[in-house]
Structure 1
């Protein structure tokens, strides 16, 4: 960066940027695919922001953009208190970690979850529907994925509400406690969970499998790596899916023509999920990358050591890639959207998220044919990582 590089202060757009960042991203795209920005408070630090689709896709797969802050002399709370995991590792470390996790978290395992996901969904709807109205987040969008991922990893039911509060504070901090304290508490909880499993012996859950997973060469996850992988699977395994389900239902209820089409043909639910991922994906921006060496993105030179934020929702509304990008269209060809990332860091849990969202939306529309909004959605989550609302009142 040179002294002449203009810095766009995103905080100057106020709360409307959190509520609807898309007009801001559109204005930035019109001026170019890459910009120097200052994030809104409380972060308020500077980074490069990539808002063009082609540039974002290339940056997501560029090995010169490191996820490991140690490469430029930076350490973070999740590294110190949680342990090494996929989102803060680069090849060959990332390759090794992903290989070990993939041995336990297979497509077959996800597919075997289908009946249980349907059962949990049905039970949640059984409890919700007699009331005539509900907050969709509390009644369906949150409890479904948290139950699935906690059962998958072997988290006791009694711990799930406390874990929800911790994980939400980690990815969308409301400022109720320091980031350091949140990650410290998460690390302590995961250490206790892992120790309980060691003491009681191998179970049939994914975390137990990860504890004993061994590669052909005898490689295994270290204790800190195991804690880190448990963290990323638990947090990423439910927070994003909560927002995906809620954002999809929210979009459908604001587009009656699209909603009528899905009600007439529930096979269109797959299109609902994919268009939601493109139009209002659950992750607004990918976690930080750092230029391990000088790099040029979209014609913009970025010096070694500088932070780069890749805009996923911004890229997926680039009109050069998706015509009329602000229109929610479940019939659209959404192939190539970046909601789950791209390259070696493509989301490991994408098949599970898609399965849960499809099951929840299809079941909800079939069992609540009169589904409608019962009021305005709650506030949008703070920060620039997650994209979702805290509540969604619905009636039927």
Structure 2
């Protein structure tokens, strides 16, 4: 018997008087645990007032992420069912809004920048960047680790990859932060950030056309102009997505990892004692408190059954990665941080054809960032009571606004 659950605002494990979205932002892992126990799929009201279907259990999330019937292209959304942030076509024609064959074509073009060999070649430059940031922090004895370290490291790396001049990087964090957590009371700020980014990338592409460099953006322009395998909108959107995603996921992963270690001194001691544990520990940090609680929304091309629940065609499906990664059916003691954990298969970076293309780079950056930080500052500690730490007020991004530390 296929069932359709009632809206979560009235049943399904979260108290009816609460705001489900606010509950999941304030205490996501407790909220998701209640949802998993109550059922595999829940129909609820999203922050925009429209209905969404939330998938909570590991097996169902993993299957849904790889299901070709669940499309990313917004044309498959039922009329009036989806109200996403409106990007201009020159920024919207990116991989997060595409399905095969366009997705396959564009992903294949970009994949050459993220081969194991090319990622390995970035280790030394990333190490130099990390050491330079730590050199700047060291004399002060304390810092906001997000502003001084976790944010500028991935911005530097991704801008070097794209070929963005150093003098043009200062606004990137402000633009991306505005888009990650837009202020509902000031929609003009998000519109201004979008307009500024579009103007910037348009001008940058023009400059790279005139004076190509040894960088990814110049290579993509050559593909666009010489081989006609990208439209102009796809080219601009691709540059935007690489910058946006390359910054957002990594800064949150680094910040969340450091906080997790400071909360678990035994795990911090284990990494200090054996640096060879760091790469595997990065996988555990991604599972334990990953940067993206939800995968990008999907729209069923036809009625689909997920976890025994029928989801109608065209409605919005959200796969809860944060919930799947704490599912006790998949991970032993899932709420325990364990840098020695050898269970594989976390979904923090996705699964299937939309698996995060930059995952190897994010792993490398996080490994280098943690190794350099722990070597340099053996007395690293929180500089404020833990109760004062604030996360982004977002269901889609799990990251700290600030991480004050002393060393």
User: Is residue 2:29 matched to residue 1:19?
Assistant: no
- Separation in 2, partners of 1:213, 1:108: 21
Superimposed CA distance per residue, residues 109-144 of structure 1 (whole angstroms, 9 cap, x where no aligned partner): 221111100000000001111211111101110010
1:53 equivalent to 2:58? Answer yes
Aligned pair 1:39/2:49, yes or no? Answer: no
Contact 1:284/1:313 (8 A) holds in 2: yes
What is the RMSD computed on CA atoms of the aligned residues? Answer: 2.2
Deviation at 1:272, TM superposition (A): 2.2
The secondary structure found in structure 2 opposite 1:111 is: helix
Secondary structure in 1 aligned to 2:318?
Answer: strand
**2:18 is aligned with 1:8:** no
The alignment status of 1:194 with 2:205, answered yes or no, reads yes
Aligned partners of 1:4, 1:98: CA distance in 2, in Å?
A: 36
Unmatched 5+ residue regions in structure 1?
Answer: none
The equivalent residue for 1:88 is: 97
Residue 53 of structure 1: CA displacement?
A: 0.2
Deviation at 1:270, TM superposition (A): 1.6
Aligned twin of 2:294: 285
2:401 maps to 390
Cα distance between partner residues in 2 of 1:188 and 1:380: 30
Within the candidate set 314, 318, 327, 1:318 is matched to 327
The one of 173, 185, 188 aligned to 1:164: 173
Q: Tell me, which stretches of 5 or more residues in structure 2 are unaligned?
A: none
For the pair 1:209 / 2:219, whether they are aligned, the reply is yes
| 1:160-182 CA distance string (max 9 Å, x none) | 22121111222222344344443
In structure 2, the partner of 1:98 is: 107
Paired residue for 2:122, among 82, 104, 113? 113
Hey, what's the Cα distance between the residues in 1 that align with 2:180 and 2:116? 26
Q: How far apart, CA to CA, are the structure 2 residues paired with 1:7 and 1:105?
A: 41
Q: CA–CA distance in 1 between the matches of 2:183 and 2:46? A: 16
Question: What's the offset of the Cα at 1:81?
Answer: 4.6
Q: Is the 8 A contact 2:287 2:325 kept in 1?
A: yes
Pair 1:185-2:192 in alignment: no
For the residues of structure 2 that align with 1:37 and 1:65, how far apart are their CA atoms?
18
2:361 is matched with: 352
TM-score (norm 1): 0.93
What does the per-residue CA deviation read over 1:271-304, in whole Å, with 9 as the maximum and x for residues that have no partner? 3211110010011101110011110000000111
- Please report how far the alpha carbon of residue 76 of structure 1 lies from its aligned counterpart in structure 2 after TM superposition: 5.5
User: Matches of 2:167 and 2:192 in 1, distance apart?
Assistant: 22
1:158 CA drift (Å): 2.5
Q: Report whether the alignment pairs 1:380 with 2:391.
A: yes
Distance in 2 separating the partners of 1:198 and 1:214: 11
The answer to whether residue 74 in structure 2 is matched with residue 69 in structure 1 is: yes
Aligned to 1:241: 250
Q: What's the CA shift string for 1:299-351, capped at 9, x where partnerless?
A: 00011110100111111001100121111111112410001100000111001
Per the alignment, do residues 60 and 14 of structure 1 end up closer, same or farther by CA in structure 2, a change over 3 Å counting? closer
Aligned equivalents of 1:355, 1:36: Cα separation in 2: 37
SS of residue paired to 1:394: strand
Retained in 1: the 8 A contact 2:224–2:232?
no
Aligned pair in 2 of structure 1 residues 330, 86: CA closer, same or farther (>3 Å)? Answer: same
- Give deviations 1:73-120, integer Å, cap 9, x for gaps: 668623635141111100111001111112344332221111100000
In 1, the alpha carbon distance for the partners of 2:349 and 2:383 equals 31
Distance (whole Å) between structure 2 residues aligned to residue 14 and residue 347 of structure 1:
25
Q: 1:174, 1:382 within 8 Å by CA — same for their partners in 2? A: no
